[in-house]
Amino acid sequence: MATKRPSSQSSQDFEYPPAPAPAAGSSSSDPVYEAPDEQLSASGEAVEAEATAFLGSVDEGLLAAKQAIEQLLGRLAGDAGGIQSQDALDANVVGVGIGVGDGSSPGALPGDPVLEVYTIEPEAAAETRARLASAAGLQAFSADEVPIKTVCTGIIDASQHRMRLRPSPGGISIGHLRITAGTQGCLVRGRSGVRVNRLMVLSNNHVLANSNAAAIGDAIVQPGPYDGGRAPADQVAVLERFVPIHFAGGNNLVDAATGWAWPDRVRRELMYLSGGAVRYFRVGGTPVAAVPGLAVGKTGRTTQLTSGRVVAVGVTINVNFGGGRVARFVNQIAVRAASGNFSQGGDSGSLIWTWDARRAPVGLLFAGGGGTTFANRITDVLAALDVNLVT
C-alpha cells in the first residue's frame, strides 16, 4: 500500500510509489522563473477545428494519393513483420504528410496544400514520382497531377540537459534503467480511479518503457543511464503505464508512457540553460491542434531550447527503433527549424508547445531525421494514457 507524504506540487497529496526511497538529494536553490525569449509569434487559436478545416480543404485527389502512399508504407512495415527490409530501402520512402507548397512543386501555388514525401536518400521530385507511380500503383504521380515536395530525412530514428537535478523538471535527461537517455516531457495525473492521486512524468514508450521491453514498476532514473543515472540512487519514478508499440503491422498513434513519481523529486516547470544558469518556465494546461505554419518550441536533453514551425500534419511515417524493428505511425506532426535542428537524438519525450505567451501543449516529440522532427498529437497521448496535464 502506497504511503502519502506532503507534496509541494499543490494542496493535493499525491501518493508515493510503493518502492524504497533512495537517499535524498540536495535541495535546489530558489528557481529563477523566466519564459523563453519570444523570437517568433503564433497568430490565431490552433484549435482542433482548424486542423480539421485545413485537412478538409485538401483536394480529394491529393488525399487519395496520400492514402496510396500510406498503404505502401503499411506493406513495407508489415510484410517483414516489423523488421527493416531491403524492399523498404529500395522504395526510398519512409513517410508522407500534408504540407504547404513553396512554389517549387508543379501544380501548386505558394501556400497550396502539397504532399510532403519523406525519403531515405535525396532524389529529384521526378524520380520520386516515377518510383511512387510504380510502387504505389497510382499513375497520377507520373502525370504531375499530384503536387509533391520531397524532403530527405534519411531513415527516421526514434530519437534519444544531462545533469542530475532535483526536483527534476521537464526538458531534462531521464530514462528507463536499461536504455540510453531521453527527455522528461512534463507532469500528468490520472483521470480516474486510484490514478487521480498519482503524479506522473510523461515521456515516450521507448524512453520510459524500453520499447515494450520493460515491466510495470521498473525504475526510471534521472539523468538517463547514458548520462550517469543509476538505480536506486537516481530513481525519480517507476514505470506506471505505457501504450504498446505495434511492430508487426497495424497503425500506431503514440509512442508514450508514464512513470509514477515521488512528488518531491519532480517539478511541473520545464527548464533550459541561459548564461550558464538553469531557468524555469511553465507551459499552459490547454492543448491546441497543430496546423502548418504554427510556431512551436521545445526544450530537450540534447538540443535544449529550440524553436521551429509545424510543416505538415496528418503524417504517416515508418520509424526505425533499432535492431531492425520498424513501426508505422499515423496522424503525426512534422516540425522543422528555420535553421539548424529542432531536435536530435536524446530529445525524445520533449513536450512541444506554441512559441507564444500561451506556451500551449501541441505534441510529444518522438522521432526525427534529416532536420525534420516528428511528434504525436498531445491530445492523442493524453487520451491513450488516460491522463491530464499538470502544469
Tell me if 364 sits within 8 A of 349, measured CB to CB. yes
Number of domains in the chain: 1
Mean per-residue pLDDT, 302-321: 95
Q: Is residue 5 part of a domain?
A: no
* Phi and psi, residue 239, nearest 5°: -60, 125
Residue 388: pLDDT band (50, 70, 90) is very high
Mean per-residue pLDDT, 168-180: 95
Residue 171: pLDDT band (50, 70, 90) is very high
107-160 tens-digit pLDDT: 677 778 888 999 988 888 788 888 888 776 666 666 667 888 889 988 786 654
Q: Is residue 175 part of a domain?
A: no
Q: At 245, is the secondary structure helix, strand, or coil?
A: coil
Question: Over 80: is that where the pLDDT of 10 sits?
Answer: no
Confidence (pLDDT) at 130: 83
The candidate with the shortest Cα–Cα distance to 206, out of 161, 251, 157, is 157
Q: Is residue 138 part of a domain?
A: yes
Structural domain including 79 reads 49-150
The candidate with the shortest Cα–Cα distance to 349, out of 316, 319, 376, 312, is 376
Record the cell numbers describing residue 149, joined without a space: 515536395
Residue type, 73: L
11-48 tens-digit pLDDT: 467 888 875 544 444 444 444 544 444 443 333 344 45
Q: How far is CA 346 from the centre of its chain?
A: 11
Residue 221: pLDDT band (50, 70, 90) is very high
Q: Is residue 106 part of a domain?
A: yes
Q: Is residue 81 part of a domain?
A: yes
Mean per-residue pLDDT, 161-179: 94
Q: Is residue 110 part of a domain?
A: yes
Confidence (pLDDT) at 146: 80
Mean per-residue pLDDT, 202-216: 96
Residue 89: pLDDT band (50, 70, 90) is confident
What's the whole-model pTM score? 0.78
CA 355/CA 295 separation, integer angstroms: 5
Confidence (pLDDT) at 245: 97
Mean per-residue pLDDT, 187-209: 95
Q: How far is CA 391 from CA 167, 201, 386, in A?
A: 15, 12, 16
Confidence (pLDDT) at 40: 33
- DSSP 8-state class, residue 244: P
**Interacting residues of 90 by C-beta distance below 8 A, sequence separation 6+:** none
* Phi and psi, residue 126, nearest 5°: -65, -40
Q: Is residue 66 part of a domain?
A: yes
Q: Is residue 290 part of a domain?
A: no
Confidence (pLDDT) at 82: 62
Confidence (pLDDT) at 386: 97
Torsion angle defined by CA atoms of residues 279, 258, 358 and 29, in that order, rounded to the nearest 10 degrees: -20
Residue 204: pLDDT band (50, 70, 90) is very high
Strands 168-170 and 266-274: parallel
Residues in the chain: 391
CA 103/CA 100 separation, integer angstroms: 9
Residue 374: pLDDT band (50, 70, 90) is very high
More confident residue, 288 or 102: 288
The answer to which of 31-35, 260-264, 272-276, 338-342 has the lowest mean pLDDT is 31-35
The candidate with the shortest Cα–Cα distance to 265, out of 238, 285, 247, 287, is 238
Q: Count Cβ neighbours within 10 Å for each residue of 72-96 and write b for 16 or more, e otherwise.
A: bbbbbbbebebebbeebeebbbbbb
DSSP 8-47: SSSSS-PBPPSSPPPPPPPPPPPP-B-PPP------S---
Mean per-residue pLDDT, 185-201: 94
Q: What is the pLDDT of the chain when averaged over all its residues? A: 84
Mean per-residue pLDDT, 191-214: 95
Q: How far is CA 163 from CA 12, 27, 221, 224, 226, in A?
A: 29, 14, 12, 9, 11
Confidence (pLDDT) at 51: 66
Tell me if 378 sits within 8 A of 363, measured CB to CB. yes
Long-range contacts of 32-36 (CB under 8 A, 24+ apart): 32/277, 32/278, 32/279, 32/280, 33/269, 33/279, 33/280, 33/281, 33/282, 34/274, 34/279, 34/280, 34/281, 35/281, 35/357, 35/359, 36/272, 36/281, 36/297, 36/299, 36/305, 36/307, 36/355, 36/359
